[in-house]
C-alpha cells in the first residue's frame, strides 16, 4: 500500500491548486487526479447529484487505481458528500477541504473577513456549522459567486479562453463590489477567504483589484500538511526518492475537455500534455 497512489478529485481544474501543495509537501508520492469536467461545476448542482458523483469517482479510484488515500479537492463535494464517503469507505484515508476561516482569523487585523464561495458550499450544513463555531470571533461577509468557477474552468479552453477571462474580471468586480469595502481600516475587510479551489487561479486578478493590503487565504497548504500527518500516522508515507520528472508521478484524467486540463496542467503545474488523459465516460 505504501507504493499505491493518492487519489485527488474535483469537479474540474480547481483541484489542481490543491495538487500543487500536495506535490510540494509529498515529493515522493504518486498522484492520480480526476477532473469531473463533464459535470462541472458542482457548486450549482443539487446535493444528491454531487454525492452520487463523489461516490462513483471514489469507487473508480479505489477499484482501478488502488489508491491508499483520497483528497476531496472540492469545497462543495466535501461539504455535502465526505460524511457518506467516510461511512462507505472506513478504511480509506480521506481528507476534505473547507473554506479557511480559522487561518483567516489568525491574520486579520480588522476582524472583518470576506468569504467567496459557491452557492452549494456556503449554504451547506457543514459550512454553516463551521461558521457557527466561530460566532463572535470576527465579522464574516459571505458572497456566493455564481458562474465564477465555470468561467475559470473555461479560461483554459482554446475556443472560450479570451471570453472567459473577460468574464472572470467582470464577475470579480461584481462580487467584490457587492461584498462591501476592502482595506486595512477599521470596519473594512482586510482578509478574503477563497472558498472554492477554482478561485485560487484568479488570485492575481483579485490582488490587483483589491490591493496588496488585502490578504487572500486558500486551503491547499493546510490540506497537504493534514494529508502528510495522516499518512505518517498510518505508516503509509512513501519516503523513497522522488522521480526526476513530475509526469512520472502525476496522472491526470478528465471526462470533459482534455485540452483544457492539459492547458491548465501545463500553465500551473508545468506538466506536459502527455500527463493528461481522457477518462472513462461511464464513471
Give the residue numbers marked as catalytic: 74, 196
- Least Cα distance to 7 among 75, 51, 54, 39 occurs for 54
Residues forming a β-bridge with 215: 191
**Beta bridge partners of residue 217, listed in sequence order:** 193
The four Cα atoms 150, 275, 224, 198 give a dihedral, to 10 degrees, of: -10
Amino acid at each position: 500500500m505504501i507504493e499505491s497512489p493518492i487519489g485527488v478529485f474535483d469537479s474540474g481544474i480547481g483541484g489542481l491548486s490543491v495538487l500543487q501543495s500536495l506535490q510540494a509537501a509529498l515529493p515522493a508520492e504518486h498522484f492520480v487526479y480526476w477532473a469531473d469536467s463533464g459535470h462541472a461545476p458542482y457548486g450549482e448542482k443539487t446535493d444528491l447529484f454531487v454525492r452520487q458523483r463523489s461516490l462513483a469517482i471514489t469507487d473508480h479510484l479505489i477499484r482501478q487505481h488502488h489508491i491508499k488515500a483520497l483528497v476531496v479537492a472540492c469545497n462543495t463535494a466535501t461539504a455535502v458528500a465526505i460524511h457518506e464517503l467516510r461511512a462507505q469507505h472506513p478504511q480509506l484515508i480521506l481528507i476534505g477541504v473547507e473554506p479557511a476561516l480559522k487561518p483567516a482569523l489568525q491574520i486579520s487585523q480588522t476582524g472583518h473577513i470576506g468569504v467567496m464561495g459557491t452557492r452549494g458550499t456556503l449554504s451547506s450544513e457543514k459550512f454553516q456549522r463551521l461558521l457557527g463555531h466561530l460566532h463572535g470571533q470576527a465579522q464574516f461577509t459571505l458572497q456566493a459567486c455564481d458562474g465564477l468557477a465555470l468561467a475559470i474552468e473555461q479560461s483554459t479552453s482554446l475556443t472560450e479562453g479570451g471570453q472567459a477571462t473577460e468574464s472572470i474580471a467582470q464577475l470579480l468586480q461584481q462580487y467584490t463590489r457587492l461584498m462591501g469595502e476592502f482595506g486595512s481600516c477599521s470596519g473594512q475587510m482586510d482578509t478574503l477567504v477563497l472558498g472554492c479551489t477554482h478561485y485560487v487561479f484568479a488570485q492575481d486578478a483579485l490582488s490587483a483589484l483589491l490591493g496588496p493590503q488585502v490578504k487572500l487565504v486558500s486551503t491547499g497548504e493546510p490540506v497537504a500538511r493534514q494529508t502528510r500527518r495522516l499518512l505518517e500516522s498510518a505508516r503509509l508515507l512513501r519516503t523513497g526518492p522522488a522521480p526526476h520528472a513530475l509526469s512520472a508521478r502525476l496522472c491526470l484524467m478528465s471526462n470533459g475537455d482534455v485540452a483544457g486540463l492539459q492547458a491548465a496542467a501545463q500553465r500551473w503545474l508545468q506538466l506536459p500534455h502527455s500527463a493528461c488523459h481522457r477518462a472513462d465516460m461511464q464513471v
